[in-house]
């Protein structure tokens, strides 16, 4: 998926925020630098990337979080909001009588997108007519005609128009194309609701192309002017968008080939130049590979907002657990370690959800380090231990020494496990208790223990 790299970097930046103890100027600067780097690597326009990160920095440093919102959450929200802003205000394409003109360089996907748009309108019950106004490539006429047949819409083109035209003969080409458009509109208007005009491109921006667009524009008097851009376009996206915008006043951007592996940031930058939102995205070569674009949803997906939200919530819970952790730790330092303490310790670890998920959320602690099977094993064991302990009496939890054969039998029956599993728990407890006893007299180990309660490092102790 395109923009995967950008998504990955931004996600790890947000994780940094979510895991931060506190938000301060140093952290904000670091985050802003991270985001800048991520945007530039994804080919987002340099000026745009700088403007965007400057706004994020200003807001993160000056805005107070609204009541009830943690500052971490607030900063994540600022990053999200500013990224959504860059993509422009979403706008629905009205379902009414209209003429749409497609512009863009050669090979960006204009003709293909004409077919996709036609299908979009047809599905909504509107009658569509496609107009072949690319007078440079005979293949373009055939391509659009085929698409019209496939979609089942009207079509107007004049194959004879290609005779004697050349890309350099811009004035002639422009006039010929404008003539076709005028005749097409006259012919299609009575029987269609939406007229979509396909135009020619060039390998690169040149005066002839712009002249030609202006001629077609004057003939078509389009309501919508869509700039079609390949997701692969890099830093040239800005100047390209500007030139087309100057010629026809772009009203929407369509980004194609988002199913590919391009960086995509360049094409997204076109939005800030034209101030016209991304309306649709192309995600394949077929007429159905077309999606309405929703900036908020797109950014949420890109950032993995679901994950980030969960992480923020978990982080909050852990903070709440800190007091409990401290009490447990104090108990242990005093040389006492009961099954109750052990259960608390385990709950703190498993309270954050499946261990693998918890570790996934912490940068640098992915599954890569701890084999999945081992992780699941630990998780299962914790669950089982909890069940066994729920069948114990308060006395047994506080004085595990009293648990002998007959009690083991009762507990195993009560919790529905095998007696050897109860013994395993007791053995595990005994090992932990000895470790804890050693810890209580070792300052360095004590510090490590305190750290253990702060999160996933505790796994070392549990295994």
x/- contact string, 70-109, with ligand GDP (CB under 6 A)? ----------------------------------x-xxxx
Residue 82 has phi, psi (to 5 degrees) of -70, -35
Provide the edge-to-edge strand list for the sheet that holds 194-199: 154-156, 128-133, 194-199, 98-103, 224-230, 252-256, 278-282, 290-292
Residue 243 CB, shortest distance to Mg ion, in Å, is 18
* Residue 109 binding partner per list Mg ion, ligand GDP, none, with a CB distance cut-off of 5 to 8 Å that depends on partner kind: ligand GDP
Q: Contacts with ligand GDP in 142-201 (CB under 6 A)?
A: 201
| Displacement of CA 127 from its chain's centroid (Å) | 35
111 binds Mg ion (CB under 5 A): yes
> Cα(200)–Cα(173) distance, rounded to whole angstroms?
10
Quick check: 140 binds Mg ion (CB under 5 A)? yes
Structure-token pair, residue 261: 């592996």
Q: Quote the CA–CA distance of 151 and 130 in Å, as a whole number.
A: 10
Radius of gyration, CA atoms only, the chain: 32
Indicate whether 264 belongs to the interface with ligand GDP (CB under 6 A): no
Place of tokens 């299962």: 380
Closest separation between CB of residue 114 and ligand GDP, Å? 8
List 264, 282, 295, 458, residue binding ligand GDP (CB under 6 A): 282
Residue closer to ligand GDP, measured from CB, 284 or 351: 284
Size of the site for Mg ion (CB under 5 A): 3
Q: Which residue lies nearer to ligand GDP by CB, 285 or 383?
A: 285
Examine residue 110 and tell whether it contacts ligand GDP (CB under 6 A). Answer: yes
- Residue linked to tokens 């982080």: 315
User: Which residue of 111, 272, 378, 415 would you call a contact of ligand GDP, by CB under 6 A?
Assistant: 111
Retrieve residue 210's tokens. Answer: 């712009």
Q: Report the residue number, 34 or 230, with the smaller CB distance to ligand GDP.
A: 230
Close Cβ partners of 365 (under 8 Å, ≥ 6 residues apart): 359, 456
Beta strands at 278-282 and 290-292: parallel, antiparallel or unpaired: antiparallel
Question: Which one, 110 or 433, has the nearer CB to ligand GDP?
Answer: 110
Part in contact with Mg ion (CB under 5 A); list of ranges 78-86, 114-122, 134-142, 245-253: 134-142
Contact flag: residue 112 with ligand GDP (CB under 6 A) = yes
Q: Is 155 helix (H, G, I), strand (E, B) or coil?
A: strand
Q: Which helix (H) or strand (E) holds 130?
A: strand 128-133
Which residues in 193-252 contact ligand GDP (CB under 6 A)? 201
- What gap in Å lies between CA 258 and CA 59, rounded to an integer? 31
Q: Cβ of 430: how many Cβ atoms within 10 Å?
A: 12
For the bound state, the minimum distance from the C-beta of residue 162 to ligand GDP, rounded and expressed in Å, comes to 15
283: contact with ligand GDP by CB under 6 A: yes
Stretch that binds Mg ion, among 42-50, 110-118, 151-159, 341-349 (CB under 5 A): 110-118
Tokens of 419: 């007696």
256 binds Mg ion (CB under 5 A): no
Interface positions with ligand GDP (CB under 6 A)? 104, 106-112, 201, 256-257, 259-260, 282-285, 289
Residues near Mg ion, by CB under 5 A:
110-111, 140
């Amino acid at each position: 998926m395109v923009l995967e790299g950008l998504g990955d970097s931004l996600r790890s930046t947000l994780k940094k925020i979510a895991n931060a103890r506190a938000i301060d100027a140093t952290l904000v600067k670091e985050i802003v630098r991270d985001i800048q780097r991520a945007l530039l690597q994804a080919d987002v326009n340099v000026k745009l990337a700088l403007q965007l990160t400057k706004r994020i920095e200003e807001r993160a440093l000056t805005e107070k979080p609204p009541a009830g919102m943690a500052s971490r959450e607030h900063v994540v929200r600022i990053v999200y909001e500013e990224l959504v802003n860059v993509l422009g205000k979403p706008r629905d394409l009205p379902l009414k009588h209209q003429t749409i003109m497609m512009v863009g360089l050669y090979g960006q996907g204009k003709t293909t997108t004409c077919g996709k748009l036609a299908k979009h309108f047809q599905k909504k019950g509107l009658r569509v007519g496609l107009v072949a106004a690319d007078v440079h490539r005979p293949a373009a006429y055939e391509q659009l005609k085929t698409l019209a047949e496939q979609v089942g819409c009207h079509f107007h083109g004049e194959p004879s128009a290609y005779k004697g035209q050349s890309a350099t003969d811009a004035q002639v080409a422009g006039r010929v194309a404008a003539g076709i458009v005028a005749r097409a509109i006259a012919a299609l208007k009575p029987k269609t609701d939406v007229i979509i005009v396909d135009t020619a491109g060039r390998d690169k921006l040149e005066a002839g192309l712009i002249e030609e667009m202006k001629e077609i524009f004057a003939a078509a008097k389009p309501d919508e002017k869509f700039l079609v851009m390949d997701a692969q376009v890099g830093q040239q996206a800005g100047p390209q968008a500007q030139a087309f915008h100057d010629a026809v006043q772009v009203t929407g951007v369509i980004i194609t080939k988002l199913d590919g592996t391009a960086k995509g940031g360049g094409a997204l930058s076109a939005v800030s130049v034209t101030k016209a939102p991304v309306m649709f995205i192309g995600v394949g070569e077929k007429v159905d590979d077309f999606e309405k674009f929703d900036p908020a949803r797109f950014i949420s997906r890109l950032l993995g907002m679901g994950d980030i939200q969960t992480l923020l919530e978990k982080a909050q819970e852990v903070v709440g657990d800190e007091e409990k952790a401290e009490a447990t730790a104090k108990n242990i330092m005093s040389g006492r370690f009961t099954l109750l303490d052990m259960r608390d310790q385990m709950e703190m670890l498993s309270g954050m959800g499946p261990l693998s998920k918890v570790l996934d959320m912490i940068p640098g602690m992915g599954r890569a380090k701890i084999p999945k099977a081992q992780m699941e094993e630990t998780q299962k064991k914790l669950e089982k231990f909890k069940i066994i302990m729920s069948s114990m009496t308060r006395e047994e939890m506080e004085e595990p020494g009293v648990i002998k054969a007959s009690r083991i039998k009762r507990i195993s029956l009560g919790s529905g496990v095998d007696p050897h599993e109860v013994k395993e728990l007791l053995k595990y407890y005994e090992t932990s208790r000895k470790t804890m006893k050693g810890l209580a007299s070792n300052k360095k180990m004590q510090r490590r223990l305190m750290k253990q309660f702060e999160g996933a490092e505790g796994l070392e102790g549990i295994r």
